[in-house]
């Protein structure tokens, strides 16, 4: 059975443009995804030469963008005899409406809401420590990634933060 984002009526490019800020995508990452989506729509294979030409970037810069998208768990890459296959389906697993975090909302309330349970004193202390070390914005980004993987553990969020450092 097809997922909702694989249906013919769903406009992936519009959805991405509407939600790139909530997905923590840079403009270059968004443009790279849009170019890959264009190739997918037109049934063309994506090549680094194509991406370099369209984005005006060198191979190292394209590698950096691709690595960033892989680290965010938005992109999976495979290959076949005809070239690279970029799979961005994971990005559509996010529910951007869940990540509307207002400025006046307490970080602990946000984590509790995402985890779907009250937080223990140990969890509260660890959240406080992590947000102090990495900053609240980076903590929220890691929380989003954990939510996308449906892993509701502070240790998992800490692992994401350590790996990005």
Residue 12: half-sphere exposure toward Cβ, Cα within 13 Å: 23
Looking at domain 9-93, its CATH architecture is Orthogonal Bundle (1.10)
Report the candidate in 93, 91, 85 with the shortest Cα–Cα distance to residue 43. Answer: 85
Indicate the domain borders of the chain. Answer: 9-93, 101-164
pTM for this entry: 0.57
pLDDT of residue 142: 92
Q: Which residues contact 36 (CB under 8 A, 6 or more apart)?
A: 46, 86, 88
Give tens-digit pLDDT for 63-80: 999 988 888 888 888 888
Structure tokens at 75: 């992109």
pLDDT of residue 103: 40
Q: What is the DSSP letter of 77?
A: E
Angle (nearest 5°) at CA 150 between 100 and 1: 100
Give tens-digit pLDDT for 70-111: 888 888 888 888 777 888 888 887 766 555 444 435 788 889
pLDDT of residue 102: 42
pLDDT of residue 108: 87
**Residues 90 and 140 sit within 8 Å (Cβ to Cβ):** no
pLDDT of residue 45: 85
pLDDT of residue 56: 96
Distance between CA atoms of 45 and 21, rounded to whole angstroms?
Answer: 27
Q: Which residues pair with 84 in a beta bridge?
A: 46, 79
Parts of the chain with a pLDDT under 50:
100-104
pLDDT of residue 28: 93
């Amino acid at each position: 059975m097809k997922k909702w984002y694989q249906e013919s009526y769903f406009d992936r490019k519009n959805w991405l443009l509407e939600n790139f800020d909530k997905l923590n995508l840079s403009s270059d990452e968004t443009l790279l995804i849009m170019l890959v989506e264009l190739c997918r729509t037109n049934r063309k294979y994506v090549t680094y030469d194509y991406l370099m030409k369209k984005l005006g970037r060198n191979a190292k810069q394209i590698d950096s963008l691709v690595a960033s998208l892989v680290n965010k768990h938005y992109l999976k890459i495979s290959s076949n005899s005809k070239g690279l296959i970029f799979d961005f389906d994971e990005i559509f697993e996010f529910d951007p409406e869940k990540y509307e975090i207002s400025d006046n909302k307490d970080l602990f309330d946000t984590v509790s809401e995402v985890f779907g349970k009250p937080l223990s004193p140990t969890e509260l202390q660890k959240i406080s420590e992590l947000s102090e070390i990495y900053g609240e914005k980076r903590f929220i980004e890691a929380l989003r990634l954990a939510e996308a993987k449906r892993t509701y553990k502070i240790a998992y969020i800490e692992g994401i933060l350590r790996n990005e450092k």
